[in-house]
Structure 1
Amino acid sequence: MRFSRSDEENEPLISLQSKGPCTLSPTSIGYDDDMGGTGRFFESNWARFRQPSPAWIICLYSIYVMVFGILTVPELNSIFVLICHQQYSESENNLKNPIGQSESKGPDLFKELNNCLGNEHAQVQLSQFLLYSEMTSGLLGALSTPILSSLSDRIGRRRILACTAVGPLIKEVLLLFLLWYPDSIDVYWLLVGYAIEGLSGGLIVSISTSQASIADLVPLKDRAKIFGYLQAGLFCTLVLGPIIAGVLLTTFGSFQFIFEVAACSHLLLVLTFSFILPESRQKHSTGSHMADTEQRSGESTIQSIWSSFESIRGSSISRRRNMAVLAFVDFVVFGIYLGISPLQLAYPGYLFHWTPTIQSVVMALTSSWSVLVLIVIFPTAMMLVRRCDRQASGIPLLKFGEMGAIKFCLMLQVLGYIGISLAPTPGAFIISSLVVASSAPISPLLTSCLTAYVSDDQIGQLLGILSFLHAISRIVMPAVMNAIYSRTVGIFPAPLFIVLAIFQGVSLLATMGVKADVV
Structure 2
Amino acid sequence: MAGNEDAFTMAAQDEAIIARNHDELSVKGHDQSRKHDSAAAEMAVDDENSPLLPLKSHANTTPSRNTSPNRTDRITEPWTAFGALPWYKRPSIYWLLPAFFPLCLAWGGLIVPKTYLILNLICQDYLSDRAAVDPNFHTLPLILGEQNDQCRDAHVQAMVARFQLYAGLLSGIFSALVAPYLGALSDRIGRKKIIGFSTLGAFIEGIAYLMVGTYPQAISVYWLLPAFLLDGVCGSFGSVMGNSLAYATDCTPPERRNVAIGYFHGTLFAGIALGPMLAGAMMKWTGSLLVVFYYSIGSHLFFILFLFILVPESVSKTRQDHAWEKYRIKKEETHEESWLDTIKNYNFFEALSILRPRGPGTSNALRRNLTLLASIDTIMFGVAMGTMGIILIYPQYLFGWDPVQASNFLTIANVCRVTSLLVVLPLITRLFRKPVPAGGKCAHRGADMLDIRIVRVAILLDLIGYIGYATAMTGGMMMASAMIAAFSGVGSPTLSSAITAHVPPDRTGRVLGALGLLHAMARVIAPTVFNTIYSLTVGHFTQAVFVCLGSLFLVVFVLSWFLKPGVSYDEPDVSYPHASSPTEESSSTANA
Category of TM-score, reference length = shorter chain: 0.7 to 0.9
Indicate the SS of the match to 1:490: coil
> Counterpart of 1:432?
481
> Counterpart of 1:33?
none
**Deviation of 1:433 (Å):** 0.9
How is 1:352-501 mapped onto 2 (pairs within 5 angstroms)? Answer: 352-386=399-433, 398-501=447-550
Is the deviation greater in 151-160 or in 117-126? 151-160
CA distance 1:285–1:56, shift in 2 (3 Å) = closer
How is 1:298-313 mapped onto 2 (pairs within 5 angstroms)? Answer: 302=347, 305=351, 308-309=354-355, 311=357
> Counterpart of 2:112?
73
**Deviation of 1:478 (Å):** 1.5
For 2:124 and 2:266, locate their aligned partners in 1 and report how far apart those are by CA, in whole Å.
38
Is the deviation greater in 262-271 or in 198-207? 262-271
For 1:169 and 1:397, locate their aligned partners in 2 and report how far apart those are by CA, in whole Å.
37
> What letter corresponds to residue 157 of structure 1 in structure 2?
R
> Counterpart of 1:226?
260
| Kept in 2: contact 1:117–1:350 (CA 8 A) | no
Aligned residues: 454
| Kept in 2: contact 1:246–1:361 (CA 8 A) | no
For 2:525 and 2:414, locate their aligned partners in 1 and report how far apart those are by CA, in whole Å.
25
1:143-175: per-residue Cα shift (whole Å, max 9, x none)?
Answer: 111222233223322121111121111111111
CA distance 1:271–1:415, shift in 2 (3 Å) = same
Indicate the SS of the match to 2:216: coil
1:441-461: per-residue Cα shift (whole Å, max 9, x none)?
Answer: 010111122223223333222
**Deviation of 1:504 (Å):** 0.9
**Deviation of 1:244 (Å):** 0.7
| Kept in 1: contact 2:354–2:511 (CA 8 A) | yes
CA distance 1:183–1:499, shift in 2 (3 Å) = same
> Counterpart of 2:95?
56
Is the deviation greater in 273-282 or in 367-376? 273-282
Q: 2:298 aligned with 1:264, yes or no?
A: yes
Q: 2:125 aligned with 1:86, yes or no?
A: yes
Is the deviation greater in 172-181 or in 112-121? 112-121
> What letter corresponds to residue 125 of structure 2 in structure 1?
Q
> What letter corresponds to residue 464 of structure 2 in structure 1?
L
> Counterpart of 2:384?
337
For 2:330 and 2:425, locate their aligned partners in 1 and report how far apart those are by CA, in whole Å.
40
Is the deviation greater in 445-454 or in 139-148? 445-454
Q: 2:162 aligned with 1:128, yes or no?
A: yes
CA distance 1:306–1:497, shift in 2 (3 Å) = closer
1:381-416: per-residue Cα shift (whole Å, max 9, x none)?
Answer: 4545458xxxxxxxx995432212211111111111
Indicate the SS of the match to 1:512: helix
| Kept in 1: contact 2:106–2:296 (CA 8 A) | yes
Higher helix share: 1
For 1:397 and 1:288, locate their aligned partners in 2 and report how far apart those are by CA, in whole Å.
24
**Deviation of 1:513 (Å):** 1.6
> What letter corresponds to residue 58 of structure 1 in structure 2?
L
> What letter corresponds to residue 356 of structure 1 in structure 2?
P
For 1:288 and 1:276, locate their aligned partners in 2 and report how far apart those are by CA, in whole Å.
25
**Deviation of 1:89 (Å):** 3.8
CA distance 1:285–1:193, shift in 2 (3 Å) = closer
Is the deviation greater in 447-456 or in 174-183? 447-456
Q: Provide the TM-score with structure 1 as the length reference.
A: 0.81
> Counterpart of 1:98?
none
1:80-113: per-residue Cα shift (whole Å, max 9, x none)?
Answer: 10100122148989xxxxxxxxxxxxx7632664
**Deviation of 1:50 (Å):** 4.4
| Kept in 2: contact 1:116–1:122 (CA 8 A) | no
> What letter corresponds to residue 262 of structure 2 in structure 1?
G
| Kept in 2: contact 1:58–1:233 (CA 8 A) | yes
For 1:372 and 1:459, locate their aligned partners in 2 and report how far apart those are by CA, in whole Å.
28
1:51-92: per-residue Cα shift (whole Å, max 9, x none)?
Answer: 432211222222222211110111111011010012214898
How is 1:267-306 mapped onto 2 (pairs within 5 angstroms)? Answer: 267-284=301-318, 289-295=323-329, 302=347, 305=351
Q: 1:147 aligns with which of 158, 172, 181?
A: 181
Larger-gyration structure (1/2)? 1
| Kept in 2: contact 1:312–1:454 (CA 8 A) | no
Indicate the SS of the match to 1:110: coil
**Deviation of 1:421 (Å):** 0.7
For 1:366 and 1:436, locate their aligned partners in 2 and report how far apart those are by CA, in whole Å.
8
> What letter corresponds to residue 380 of structure 1 in structure 2?
L
| Kept in 1: contact 2:105–2:272 (CA 8 A) | yes
Segments of structure 1 that go 5 or more residues without pairing to the other structure are: 1-45, 94-106, 388-395
RCO comparison, higher one (Cα < 8 Å, 6+): 2
| Kept in 2: contact 1:374–1:441 (CA 8 A) | yes
Indicate the SS of the match to 1:491: coil
Is the deviation greater in 484-493 or in 57-66? 57-66
| Kept in 1: contact 2:188–2:324 (CA 8 A) | no
**Deviation of 1:142 (Å):** 0.7
Is the deviation greater in 369-378 or in 417-426? 369-378
> Counterpart of 1:390?
none
CA distance 1:85–1:152, shift in 2 (3 Å) = same
Give the percent of matched residue pairs that are identical in Structure 1 and Structure 2. 31
Indicate the SS of the match to 2:318: coil
Q: 1:502 aligns with which of 544, 548, 551?
A: 551
Q: Provide the TM-score with structure 2 as the length reference.
A: 0.71
**Deviation of 1:332 (Å):** 0.3
| Kept in 2: contact 1:61–1:210 (CA 8 A) | no
For 1:439 and 1:112, locate their aligned partners in 2 and report how far apart those are by CA, in whole Å.
32
For 2:244 and 2:359, locate their aligned partners in 1 and report how far apart those are by CA, in whole Å.
25
1:426-477: per-residue Cα shift (whole Å, max 9, x none)?
Answer: 1111111111111110101111222232233332222121111111111111
**Deviation of 1:252 (Å):** 2.4
CA distance 1:348–1:288, shift in 2 (3 Å) = closer
For 1:90 and 1:480, locate their aligned partners in 2 and report how far apart those are by CA, in whole Å.
28
CA distance 1:228–1:481, shift in 2 (3 Å) = same
**Deviation of 1:127 (Å):** 0.3
Indicate the SS of the match to 1:367: helix
